[in-house]
Amino acid sequence: MKIVLTTVKEASVTIKDKMVGYIKQGFLLLVGFTDGDDKEIVEKMVDKILSLRVFPDENGQINLSLEDVNGSILSVSQFTLYADTKKGRRPSFVKALRPGEAEPLYDYFNNLIEMKYGKLSTGVFGADMKVTSINDGPFTLVLDSKELF
């Protein structure tokens, strides 16, 4: 499982000119899955995200969590995180988990966040989404379960 996490002042997802997700301050998460991902990995990644201290405190030190700043999460499925660009000019996506397996994990990921934290908006799995954000910092992390656990 791979997640690109960006701290944002605000972010939104639009599908066919209709806004389907919006947050103010918080995390924009681009979420992808690969072979071997399971509920245990999803649970560990959710715990990692919710425990990160990546917002500045009153002294400008990166020391506050999402909860500390009363932030929200916008979660967007993103199979292209598993693109392989080693050969040729067109990326291969064979490392991305097939939609029938990835969608239940994505739903589980979002349900866990909602259950443990509550402040969640999402895109729509598999949809052609337009994602906008005003980055805060910018502060961006790539979280890869193969490197973290």
The rounded Cα 60 to chain-centroid distance in angstroms is 25
User: Known catalytic residue: 34?
Assistant: no
User: Known catalytic residue: 79?
Assistant: yes
- In the chain the beta strands, taken as DSSP E runs, fall at 2-15, 18-23, 26-32, 53-56, 62-65, 72-77, 120-122, 130-144
Please pick, among 27, 33, 55, 79, the residue that the annotation labels catalytic: 79
Check if the beta carbon of residue 59 is closer than 8 Å to that of residue 103: no
Please pick, among 80, 109, 122, 149, the residue that the annotation labels catalytic: 80
**CB neighbours of residue 50 within 10 Å:** 16
Gap between the Cα atoms of 99 and 44, Å rounded: 21
Between the alpha carbon of residue 58 and those of residues 5, 55, 63, 139, 147, the distances in Å are: 22, 10, 9, 17, 32
User: Known catalytic residue: 25?
Assistant: no
Please pick, among 6, 7, 34, 78, the residue that the annotation labels catalytic: 78
**Residues labelled catalytic:** 78-80
